[in-house]
Chains A and B, each alone.
Chain A
Amino acid sequence: NAGVTQTPKFQVLKTGQSMTLQCAQDMNHEYMSWYRQDPGMGLRLIHYSVGAGITDQGEVPNGYNVSRSTTEDFPLRLLSAAPSQTSVYFCASSYRSRELGTEAFFGQGTRLTVV
């Protein structure tokens, strides 16, 4: 049971380069999201999706794009990397349940450095 899988684990980019962070889950969760974690800032929500074909912006969406063509995959694209995007990125998934509330499952993170 893989859970939430993120690739790559580490990445170094030059300013202006683009790349895609991959996230896949095998739990048939409707809800998926991307966070970035910076020292002293906790986790901040970048984008999220409540199902295939549906995405929306979180707290800090600028400079990032997402798509959700399947239930399993939720890639995060950096369009033109900037040093301010140096961070650790986490993907999470959960069942979609407003009334009951459910736990989120996290990937192991991608540590991105932009030079």
Chain B
Amino acid sequence: SQQGEEDPQALSIQEGENATMNCSYKTSINNLQWYRQNSGRGLVHLILIRSNEREKHSGRLRVTLDTSKKSSSLLITASRAADTASYFCAQVPTGANNLFFGTGTRLTVIP
């Protein structure tokens, strides 16, 4: 399986706190992406980081990538109740177009 893994599987925080999710993967990559899924809905793309990038920001999101450790992290700052969702990392292996997803982190933000 080319699936990565995410840690933690579930995370519960208070509104206003920061949330950090980690992702590990197995092969060399072209890029790594993070997606969000609200309960029962489709996935929505959040951010993409390429293999030659180490950090990327988008609004309250900060993504880091360490290709030597085959790992990435997603930081959501100043969390809101509306951030409650599952978050998935997905990798595009080198030379491929396919996205391979991790198992996801379930984030609950308590108002």
Q: Could you list which residues of chain A lie within 8 angstroms of chain B, going by C-beta atoms? A: 4, 31, 33, 35, 40-45, 48, 50, 58-59, 90, 92, 94, 96-99, 101-109
Contacts and interface: CB of A to CB of B under 8 A. Distances in A.
Given A41-B3, A43-B88, A109-B41, 19 more contacts: A41-B103, A42-B3, A42-B101, A42-B102, A43-B43, A43-B101, A44-B101, A45-B99, A45-B100, A59-B1, A92-B99, A97-B97, A98-B96, A101-B33, A101-B48, A101-B50, A104-B90, A106-B35, A108-B42
Interface of B: 1-3, 30-31, 33, 35, 40-45, 48, 50, 88, 90, 92, 95-104
Contacts, number: 70
Contact of B3 (A4, A44, A92): A44
B5 to A, nearest CB: 9
B33 A48 contact: no
A58 B30 CA distance: 18
